[in-house]
Amino acid sequence: NSVGEACTELKREYDQCFNRWFAEKFLKGESAGDPCGQLFKRYQLCVQKAIKEKDIPIEGLEFMGPSKGKTENSS
Amino acid sequence: HPWETVTTAAMQKYPNPMNPSVVGVDVLDRHVDPSGKLHSHRLLSTEWGIPSIVKSLIGACRTKTYVQEHSVVDPVKKTMELKSSNISFTNLVSVDERLVYKPHPREPDKTILTQEAIISVKGVSLSSYLEGLMANTISSNANKGREALEWVINRLNAEIEEFTASARGTVRNSMAAAAFVEK
């Protein structure tokens, strides 16, 4: 389950994608090309909102997008 | 179990019946660094089964405690390292845990886990008692952790078997249907 109840479905979709990629590609040495980028972004937006709303004290963590390249976050 | 199996299971460790207090897991950040290692930052929410009357007094939101976890998986060297620390009640206690999963040096089908925890209690006079209590809990949790991963691995294997059986069943059914139509 997700810390934000509304995010649980998005989290499940992302988790499924990630777990498959992790076991079938990453562990076998093919880390290039993460197919879960879009799912992750959507899930992240939801989680960030929930964390702010619940006032969870997370410090110094940048909410970056997955794998290569930092994407600027407007929050 | 081989390192790949353990690592895959560790990524999906929660929820599991051995750690019922972990109610939420979220990925805050995940990226592959230039050397090919996967970093994940996760937030774990735990709920400690506080009596509902207490919950209604202090408000349900405040009964959750949070832990942040940073894990690094190196697929080349085959190591997985997890570091976690509490982010709730840091004014009272700090629990820092470090776990490392590596393939067994002599038995390639096994994985070795080393686990350490550093507990610091601040400004509490019963500190040595509490630290002893927490140390016991953490070492019994270490065993639970191994059982939890066994449970996840079994579940993953069952899912694979179920999927294979249903795929076979589907093929058989469609072949039977085709045979019927041909007649």
**pLDDT at site B171:** 61
What is the mean pLDDT of the segment spanning A52-66?
61
Q: What was the pLDDT predicted at A53?
A: 85
Domain that holds residue B164: 3-182
- The chain-wide mean pLDDT, for chain B, equals 80
State the maximum Cα–Cα separation within chain A, in Å, rounded to a whole number. 39
Task: Please judge whether B12 and A57 are an interchain contact, meaning their C-beta atoms are less than 8 angstroms apart.
Answer: no
Element (H, E) at B127: helix B127-182
CA B7 – CA B101 distance, rounded (Å): 8
Summarised one tens digit per residue, pLDDT across range A23-38 is 888 888 876 777 898 9
Contact B90, B65 (CB under 8 A): no
Q: What is the DSSP letter of B38?
A: E
pLDDT tens per residue, range B7-56: 999 999 888 888 888 888 999 999 889 998 999 999 998 877 666 676 66
In percent, how much of chain A has pLDDT > 70?
Answer: 76
Q: Do B26 and A68 touch (CB under 8 A)?
A: no
Cβ separation A64–B26 shorter than 8 A:
no
Q: Can you tell me the distance from the alpha carbon of B160 to that of B167, in angstroms, rounded to the nearest whole number?
A: 10
Contacts of B29 in chain A (CB under 8 A): 61-64
| Cα(B156)–Cα(B168) distance, integer angstroms | 18
pTM of the model: 0.71
Strand B111-121 to B93-103 pairing: antiparallel
Residue with the larger pLDDT of the pair B132 and B74: B74
Domain count across chain B: 1
Query: Domain extents for chain A?
Result: 5-54
Q: What is the pLDDT of residue A66?
A: 37
Q: Which tokens is B23 given?
A: 């109610």
pLDDT of residue B162: 75
Q: Are the CB atoms for B66 and B45 separated by under 8 Å? A: yes
Beta strand segments in chain A, E: none
Non-local CB neighbours of B101 within 8 Å, separated by 6+ positions: B3, B6, B7, B10, B79, B80, B81, B111, B112, B113
Tell me the backbone φ, ψ of residue B12, rounded to 5 degrees. Answer: -115, 30
- Give tens-digit pLDDT for B76-130: 999 999 999 888 877 777 788 899 999 999 998 999 998 887 777 765 544 566 6
CATH number, domain containing residue B161: 3.30.530.20
Q: What is the DSSP letter of B45?
A: E
Residue A68 is predicted with a pLDDT of: 35
Question: Once rounded to an integer, what is the mean pLDDT over residues B177-181?
Answer: 55
Tokens at B177, concatenated: 């249907």
Residue A73 pLDDT greater than 90, yes or no: no
Q: Is the pLDDT of residue B181 over 50?
A: yes
Confidence tier at A67 by pLDDT (50, 70, 90)? very low
Tokens of A24: 């079938």
Which pair of tokens denotes residue B2?
């081989």
Which of A11, A16, A31 has the highest number of chain B CBs within 10 A, making it the mutation to test binding with B? A31
